[in-house]
Structure 1
Amino acid sequence: MSKFDDIRPYYDDEVNEALQSVARHPMMKALMSFTFPDRDEEFWTNKFKNVHSIKDFQSQFISQTVLQILERSSEGLTTSGFDQLDKDQSYLFISNHRDIVLDTSLLNLALLNGGFVMTSSAIGDNLVQKPFLHVLAKLNRNFLVQRSVSIREQLDSSKTLSQYIYNLLTKENRSVWMAQREGRAKDGNDITQQGVLKMLAMSAEEVSLIDFFKSLKIVPLSISYEYDPTDSLKMPQLMAKSRNEVYVKDDNEDFNTMLSGVLGQKKRIHLHAGKVLDKELDNIANAFDNKNKQLQAIAQIIDDSIIQNYKLWPTKYIAYDLLHKTDKYAEQYTEEEKQLFIRRLEMRIDSSDPVLKESFLAMYANPVVNRMKQDENSLVR
């Protein structure tokens, strides 16, 4: 027994048995029918017999699933920045979070195609309550963030998670993906939660906080979808927040959101891998002695990288101009793109509700606002 057994993905010698246990599950049939639309069930069940590692499963099946998703619901994936990374190194990718399934799946596709180490990825245990989804997550090298534990158990759970991530990065040379915050950014504001960094720092022993974070080789990752396939689904929670109400999810809300993220139209998608945080951390060490100040500064440089390298598609500029009733960014989009976006807005929400409309537009426009603020701050400096 390992102390990580409750959260870890499968070991390679467990993969085949786990895969066979769900091979004929209705959801696996649906997934494989989507992945291999021109093949019968016997095709993939026979292929499953020869799968004996997570890499086999990801490279032979899940990568094909992601390619089908891109083919059917996007106008393509582009990447940048990965050529600056070392293919033999492991990295901690900390990214903005838009989609439950795709954020990490697209990163792993980019890493696989580039010959890099694919990631082990954090996923909330609330998202894999169904037994099939739990098996599928472990087959995809997901490790569990235990969100359903009691307050008393949270500290031990966070320590275990921190140790597991550190072990992956430094002992197993396995890259790790995690979101910069708990849950997706519903309003388009990509802000790193200091609590995420505090959890990571629980494994810092016998070295300074800065040296510890340098050892993780943090790569800020910017993920940008031209259309957010779950934009309308985020509105109820945003509206509840605007009314200072507690938002309670429906039982199947997370699952429906995952499906919408996979199948919904995204148009163009871009991933940018930022530079490994190194000299910036030295600057923080020289500027601050206080650990809380250091954590705040680390969170800020992650935010700065993600915002700076976030691809601002025409939809972001259109939303800004519509929200502020201006044509400030009219050169960034065509009239046709603007009309398509307006049509989407009208189809996705009740646009006669001014508060709802404002929330929808702000979700798309906030990355532009944040870039503007960043540019203004750099001028002041």
Structure 2
Amino acid sequence: MQKFDAIRPFYDAEVNAALQAVANHPMMKALMNFAYPNVDEEVWKAQLLRTHSIRDFQINFAYQAVQKVLEKSSDGLSTSGFETLEPNTSYLFISNHRDIILDTSILNVCLFDHGLVMTASAIGDNLVKKDFLKTLSKLNRNFVVQRGLPPRELLESSKLMSEYIAQLLLRENRSVWIAQREGRTKDGNDATHSGVLKMLAMGSDEKNVLDYFKKIKIVPVSISYEYDPTDALKMPQLMAEAREEIYIKEKNEDFITLLSGIIGQKKRIHLHVGKIIDTELDQIQAENDNTNKQIQALAQVIDDSILQSYKLWPTNYIAYDLLHHTDTYANEYTEAEKSLFERRLEMRIDGNNEVMREGFLAMYANPVINQLKYRHASQA
């Protein structure tokens, strides 16, 4: 399968050589000292050099590292929906996207804990420019999404990725994680981009694209953090967009965001996996014979699942009330929780910049606003 070499993770036969190449890297040492603070370097290094598969690396090293991140930077993880999934079955998880590394890492920890197939996960090529990070991502079964290409090359890249995803799901029985849109959601408005679904459809060998979507078992995933550790880091881009300016990233911005997401305080985290989208596809097919409309309808079904299953925290309700100068949701939080959130707002945002303040609050408030829309729609 050489055609996928530019984007695929390591094959198991390549894992040990890759680990030998990075075993003495300062970042590997830092990672291992973090995950195993009471284990001597000789011990973890010997174990690392005995590792010959991605699964062994994920279970013996990555799993522990994620548990340590959760222990140090959160007040705990809760989950729901996993009981609806079958073991030894591959799924296409389409998820809202808050954190570069943790969204997928937490999902894989949960899948492993429930005895389910772990994922190969999409990662932007902007995040694996450093050699060590590229190696680490390939050890974690990430495949590369090539970004910023000219239109013709982008089309070729999308086709290659769609074929690779089909290969994983249908021939290797490997689950896949992909974000519902390119890049993380910055403003709290989670929406599935039809371009993602069109890319997936390129891998179809079915006459009707909805038959293919049924075959690959789409499962929407909703992940919510009580505090977004990268909230303030998202503001410059949101401000540029508000001014209708093109946002240019600072050097190493992605790397700083990646680290902040891992070590920053998140408080509570909830991850929900929805039901497989199946009968909904039959309904879409009955109502639309136009492929574009079918894809838009599927995007809406995914959004419905993600937004309605999104766990709302006190921070979301506080932000809504502050943004709208109301106490509508005062019974959803305590005064202490409100004071803590206001302190965070004060520390992270220039109080004189009203646009930035509103942007920060909207990031937390939008999930409440989105659920309100669904409640009103269901009551109409």
Q: Give me the TM-score of the superposition, normalised by structure 2.
A: 0.99
Contact between 2:210 and 2:281, CA under 8 Å: does it hold in 1? yes
Counterparts of 1:37 and 1:246 in 2: how far apart (Å)? 43
Q: Give 1:39 deviation, angstroms.
A: 2.1
Specify whether residues 120 and 136 from structure 1 end up closer, same or farther in structure 2 by C-alpha distance, changes over 3 A only: same
> Residue by residue, what CA displacement relative to the aligned partner does 1:15-65 show, whole Å, maximum 9, x if unpaired?
011011001011111111111112232121111122110000000000100
Counterparts of 2:46 and 2:336 in 1: how far apart (Å)? 48
Q: Give 1:151 deviation, angstroms.
A: 2.8
Counterparts of 1:363 and 1:347 in 2: how far apart (Å)? 16
Amino acid of the residue matched to residue 241 of structure 1?
E
> Residue by residue, what CA displacement relative to the aligned partner does 1:183-235 show, whole Å, maximum 9, x if unpaired?
00100000000000000001222331111110110000000000000000000
Contact between 1:125 and 1:147, CA under 8 Å: does it hold in 2? yes
> Residue by residue, what CA displacement relative to the aligned partner does 1:140-183 show, whole Å, maximum 9, x if unpaired?
00000111433321111110100000110010100000000000
Q: Give 1:137 deviation, angstroms.
A: 0.4
1:357 aligned residue: 357
Contact between 1:87 and 1:115, CA under 8 Å: does it hold in 2? yes
2:335 aligned residue: 335
Contact between 2:165 and 2:203, CA under 8 Å: does it hold in 1? no
Percent identity over the alignment is 65
Counterparts of 1:207 and 1:292 in 2: how far apart (Å)? 15
Counterparts of 2:72 and 2:312 in 1: how far apart (Å)? 23
Contact between 2:97 and 2:223, CA under 8 Å: does it hold in 1? yes
1:281 aligned residue: 281
Q: Give 1:283 deviation, angstroms.
A: 0.5
> Residue by residue, what CA displacement relative to the aligned partner does 1:239-262 show, whole Å, maximum 9, x if unpaired?
111111110001100000000000
1:10 aligned residue: 10
Q: 4+ runs of 1 displaced by more than 2 Å? A: 148-152
1:192 aligned residue: 192
Contact between 2:75 and 2:266, CA under 8 Å: does it hold in 1? yes
> Residue by residue, what CA displacement relative to the aligned partner does 1:284-314 show, whole Å, maximum 9, x if unpaired?
0001011110000000000000000000011
Contact between 1:125 and 1:148, CA under 8 Å: does it hold in 2? no
Q: Any stretches of 5+ residues in structure 1 without a counterpart?
A: none
1:59 aligned residue: 59
2:108 is aligned with 1:88:
no
Counterparts of 1:207 and 1:167 in 2: how far apart (Å)? 18
Q: Residues 189-268 of structure 1 correspond to what in structure 2 (within 5 A)?
A: 189-268=189-268
2:318 aligned residue: 318
SS in 2 for 1:211: helix
Counterparts of 1:227 and 1:83 in 2: how far apart (Å)? 27
Counterparts of 1:120 and 1:240 in 2: how far apart (Å)? 33
> Residue by residue, what CA displacement relative to the aligned partner does 1:80-136 show, whole Å, maximum 9, x if unpaired?
000111012100000000000100000000011111110000001111000110000
2:169 aligned residue: 169
Counterparts of 1:235 and 1:340 in 2: how far apart (Å)? 20
Amino acid of the residue matched to residue 328 of structure 1?
T
Amino acid of the residue matched to residue 212 of structure 1?
Y
More divergent stretch after superposition (201-210 vs 241-250): 201-210
Counterparts of 1:82 and 1:300 in 2: how far apart (Å)? 22
RMSD: 0.9
Counterparts of 1:351 and 1:178 in 2: how far apart (Å)? 37
Counterparts of 1:378 and 1:273 in 2: how far apart (Å)? 22
Q: Any stretches of 5+ residues in structure 2 without a counterpart?
A: none
1:127 aligned residue: 127
Contact between 2:7 and 2:143, CA under 8 Å: does it hold in 1? yes
Counterparts of 1:97 and 1:272 in 2: how far apart (Å)? 13
Counterparts of 2:328 and 2:50 in 1: how far apart (Å)? 57
Counterparts of 1:150 and 1:63 in 2: how far apart (Å)? 37
1:110 aligned residue: 110
2:29 aligned residue: 29
Amino acid of the residue matched to residue 280 of structure 1?
E
SS in 1 for 2:4: coil
Contact between 1:270 and 1:311, CA under 8 Å: does it hold in 2? yes
1:154 aligned residue: 154
Counterparts of 2:322 and 2:331 in 1: how far apart (Å)? 14
Counterparts of 1:41 and 1:249 in 2: how far apart (Å)? 37
Count residues in correspondence: 380
> Residue by residue, what CA displacement relative to the aligned partner does 1:334-363 show, whole Å, maximum 9, x if unpaired?
111111111111111112321111000000
Counterparts of 1:101 and 1:82 in 2: how far apart (Å)? 21
SS in 2 for 1:78: strand
Counterparts of 2:349 and 2:67 in 1: how far apart (Å)? 29
1:38 aligned residue: 38
2:301 aligned residue: 301
